[in-house]
Structure 1
Amino acid sequence: MSDPMNSTPLPRQVADAYVDALVELDPIAGTYLGVPESHSRLPDFSPAGQEVLAELSRTTLRRLAEAEERPGADSEAERRCARLLRERLTAELAVHDAQEGLRAVSNLHSPVHAVRGIFTVMPSETLADWTTVAQRLRAVPDALDGYRESLEAGLAKGLHAGPRQVSTVLGQLDEWVGDGEDGDGRGWFSAFAAEGPDALHEVLASAADEATGAVRELRDWLREVYEPGVAGSPDTVGRERYARWARYWNGADLDLDEAYAYGWSEFHRLLGEMRTEAEKILPGAATPWEALRHLDTEGEAVEGVEEVREWLQGL
């Protein structure tokens, strides 16, 4: 069988081949795209794994340039596809080339969050589904080892996250492994696995313990090595990094000064409206939040399912 990445296709065929290759390297993306073969695996988050993904993007961009020269590539659908593919790949490569993957510590979007989150969206209806869940749980240690390898490389190069990001993530990981203030010592993965079928109880419990142990090891390393290594560093990312990520998330090169000016003008406009409404609710209220606290204790309440439905429909 010929390899579609080694032919000279049109842009949409280049995009299709890229997606096929991507899900092989990034099983999390594969699960989101509904590819069953992806559900048991996790990505390689190590520097080497990141470079393999980047090389796929570079190869795809070269093939895209060739495809745009072919007859038929100037149709509206082909041009739109090419424009979107190029924009996404160049944005991703800009992030990779700046070695952002070596300091990916965030309380919202990081490899460890992606690893945990994917379990909530993968199939979990049948015995076969839960068997696959167990396989993916056992893949967690290798995935987090690769992530730690990247953070170690970043720390050695002086490319790291800020102290506040690290301390926030540490708090999250405490909760995930069951060591938080209200934790029971079992952790999120064990609670998730407990929802599986009785026939796989021992298998799932063992796999969940492996995953929890891997998160705990990562947490301990972050606390004992990474956090002291970034102590005293600024939490800010700087204009250049901010612009790079703004491009990545928005798909456009924003005028940051204009965007911030607009954001602050909207903030002050909305704050003015909030103060006006707060004065109607609690005359003399110092802030809108004082009026909100007043509503929590003195405001009207609607009790009962049917009553809430009628109130919402009337509203």
Structure 2
Amino acid sequence: MKNVSILVPENSVMQAIADPQYLFSAVNQFMAVSGKMPLFNVELVGLKKQVKINDGLFSINTSQLLNEVTKTDLVIIPALFGDMKTAIDANKKALPWIKEQYNNGAEVASLCVGAFLLASTGLLNGKKCSTHWGFQNEFQEMFPEVEVIDGSIVTEEQRLYSSGGAMSYWNLLLYLVEKYTDRETAILASKYFAIDIDRDSQAAFAMFKGQKNHTDEAIKQAQDFIDKNIQEKITIDELADLVSLGRRSFERRFKIATNNSVLEYINRVKIEFAKRSFESSRKNINEVMYDVGYTDTKAFRSIFKKITGLTPVEYRNKYNKMAMV
């Protein structure tokens, strides 16, 4: 029997607590139907017997207080809600318990931005981690010693698991089901819950907004120039001259400010514009490619797929109903 402890934190997302409880309980039912013994003992655990979330709109009753948990095999940290620093502060008394369970041999899995709470324990320092694409910059600023895997759906390292954004946590939950049971049971669960079991990237869902939450005015000027000149072939030397910096100094400051190299940033801005065009217009691949300053079809296709996980044609067909017509 595997003991699964689903943490019920303050400032949490209710679905990220209910969904793992539902999944592991359903797997128990699948096993019972096939004549096997249920595998998971699922408990909701917390610092209080009742935790109110969504400004008191919902209440979740825990089955065990943290100090009552004697032995667990898997700790699940659900997604947090609202301001991450506030959410972490509201749950700081749970951090020693998470570390204690890990040190006693338990595995720990964070769902979506639950990674912020897991990282606050220090257990992720020097390790890899996934989180919601929209929170990666904030996460990297708060936890510079953790390596965020861009676009990843599931990351596993030394009994620590993390997932990408929002509903991506279902893929981590199915991953854990397969690990504890078998592939057949995981596939059954994926069909029951209508989840694509082998989706391995959240890149197609990501929206690049650029990292402008910094104080380097020269770099902001360069970013603004990139944003306003999507169709142009912009060089690093051109940008460095624009802000009166040497190339090496400009590249170093740009990386520090944006968490992207200059060329990575330019490509991501251009591909983001191309994505919006594919979603909302009838333009063909070449027209969009020229609109964002590329002339080499092979290079455009390669960069687009690297950033989004899909080819331009696949992306257009996935998100543009007009293209399908």
- TM-score, normalised by the number of residues in structure 1: 0.28
The structure number with the bigger radius of gyration is 1
- Higher relative contact order (CA closer than 8 Å, sequence separation 6+): 1
- TM-score, normalised by the number of residues in structure 2: 0.28
Q: Which has the higher strand share?
A: 2
